[in-house]
Chains A and B, each alone.
Chain A
């Protein structure tokens, strides 16, 4: 009963939407890569790099929005590395992705330590503030939840629409989807599979990095080593949950964030009777169950994980 009241509180939903934001960026980014046929397991590391890059930019005196752009740029750069290895050279996407994650995570920590060798408590920046959209935020119930968030959250929601539109309503989106289904069809129509895959991975990685940047520039105001904390892996599961569709991805992100918000609350209230790790585990258990239910019949991109080599069949 108490839990029900909690779920009906506006505060719970405000927190849920906030916690969903990095997942939305990450999931959209991963979705874009996979729609083109490239699994990007570098996501965990790319998010870490994004969180570090954006924060550092602002800490060094840059403003917030150029910091977001810088994070996206760094993410795109790492994505380019992933694309060079998996698309141009056709190496294993699993191994390359895990390597990228290790590289990017370690590099972020390394650069952070190099820049601030003496800092014991992490230094802070002035993050994005909640921005109430006039009039809309005054709406009953939903106003405060949806329209009194940080600018990056609005951007995340807008990007769901943009990615869906690009994928399903534009020629370039058709080319991306077709590349994930049958690269030979794309080549036979005179388009470059390499170019399409490379740009999809670069763009997707840039989105992931912005998701990471949200953590240090909006959710918190400092960079901690290991702060991405598995969110990247969750995004990979959410893409499957979403059956590679942006709208369902948004739903999945919000659902997972809600589980997470609930577990935090329950953890605070239950005292020490149950180990807190049990509650930490709950969102993952729920997401595995949701995954089983939602994605049994999911049609995955046929050419996912299949490297394309010109002149071979």
Chain B
């Protein structure tokens, strides 16, 4: 913990009118684990991308082991011993693990791969750090946790001394995350230095030696982890106190939505649903937890009326649904908040007003003999952006110009204005800052208080535990039995997320462990 291995000096970067980083100076010392915190959009990823040479900074320098790196060259960063594990993995799915790792490590003029010696080196690394993967496997066949292992191996294979991980736990189960941090600890123990980006306070407190907080592109706080508190960090991240959404007292309601052993065929990369049952009551928030890609999007599509079940039955308010369509779902009072805001949630190039009108434009009052009543639609839109605090220049602004938080408010405005009895939300706060997240949570709690039932599909366990009354876990297209949130523990849910019903996940396991065994 002595000398500095990496120094960012006065980094400034702007994208058009947006300043992503302003005069950031940060040091990393030998053998330490530094957590870089901040809300979405605080400039964490930009800063690390500059360090690794994906972006060129407007001002400032990057110094590694005492020498300044040339700008905009990932190759220079790699050669200087910096390795980066991106949040969105930079792997080619149609190629083997070994090919992905070997890429760029041999001179391009070589007339032949030396796959045999590469394999030897790789095996030695895997043994040393307990990072087992099958080198001959196609990357697309690996679980997300295993793919991350490949990314780490890739970096170690190149002999990196400084490891940067961007939101490494966002795709992992709690157990996989524990395993990851154990690996990182070992690396730090061997003299490597690690920076990991996160916005999860729990990880910072548990794993880091030191932490730094970015807010609106500026470094606002730096401390030794042991000498600070989660509360202090949260304040530094947000800049002010955010009111915590209040949970109303739980109330019993009638059953309004019931899935009975529903099966849905898989499509493309979407997991098939198997024998899913759930029962949702009025006034209730039912959390659906799970690692991404286990069928959550199929479940959301099912409840949105976008896919038709092969087997089983959907019962809404005691009435079975013959052939669900989106229109039938809307007519029965199902409000839908999809995970892909600009894909299925909104039409990005159309205006705020048009997007707010998509579920009502055919209703009397808004259309007469097939001609739209623009006056009524406009006044409704104005009223809604006021009521839901959507920050936009006007109702004729194209939606793509809105921030993620305002897009989500727009979607909420659209569905909540219909007073739905059932609300299906998929990843409602993904990519939102703390303020917008709190707003969305409050809206969902209020809707439940008014008597709606909410199906909350989320990969964020904190969110699930914070909002839901009961929790079901989705694993490989099947739903677990519901657990009462009050009695459930994170460990219990985490095990269900990895398809394990028994306790005791092993720490240093072979290649086909945890989620991998299921893939």
Interface residues of A (CB under 8 A from B): 169-172, 174-175, 177-178, 181-182, 184-191, 299, 301-302, 310-311, 313
Contact = CB atoms under 8 A, between A and B. Distances in A.
A299 B109 contact: no
Contact of B108 (A172, A188, A313): A172
Contacts of B112: 169-170
Contacts of A181: 92-95
A184 B106 CA distance: 18
B185 interface: no
B103 A191 contact: yes
Interface residues of B, number: 37
A188 B93 contact: no
Interface residue SS majority, chain B:
loop
Contact of A302 (B56, B94, B111): B94
Contact of A178 (B52, B56, B103, B111): B103
B55 A185 contact: no
Interface in B13-31: none
A68 B279 CA distance: 74
Contacts of A169: 112-113
B341 interface: no
Nearest 5 CB-CB pairings of A with B: A190-B75, A189-B104, A181-B92, A188-B90, A171-B106
B54 A186 contact: no
Given A188-B86, A189-B90, 6 more contacts: A170-B111, A174-B99, A187-B54, A188-B52, A190-B104, A310-B54
B458 to A, nearest CB: 24
Interface of B: 49, 52, 54-56, 72-79, 84, 86, 88, 90-95, 99-100, 102-113, 154
A171 B90 CA distance: 18
17 contacts: A170-B110, A170-B112, A171-B113, A174-B102, A174-B103, A178-B103, A181-B95, A187-B54, A187-B74, A188-B90, A189-B78, A189-B104, A191-B75, A191-B104, A301-B94, A311-B49, A311-B55
A171 B108 contact: yes
Nearest to A195: B108
Contacts of A299: 94
Contacts of A175: 103-104, 108
Contacts of A171: 102, 106-108, 110, 113
A177 B95 contact: yes
Contacts of A310: 54, 72
A188 B113 contact: no
Contacts of A188: 52, 74, 84, 86, 90
B113 A174 contact: yes
B92 A185 contact: yes
Contacts of B91: 182, 185
Contact of A172 (B86, B92, B95, B109): B109
A211 B56 CA distance: 43
A143 to B, nearest CB: 32
A178 B95 contact: yes
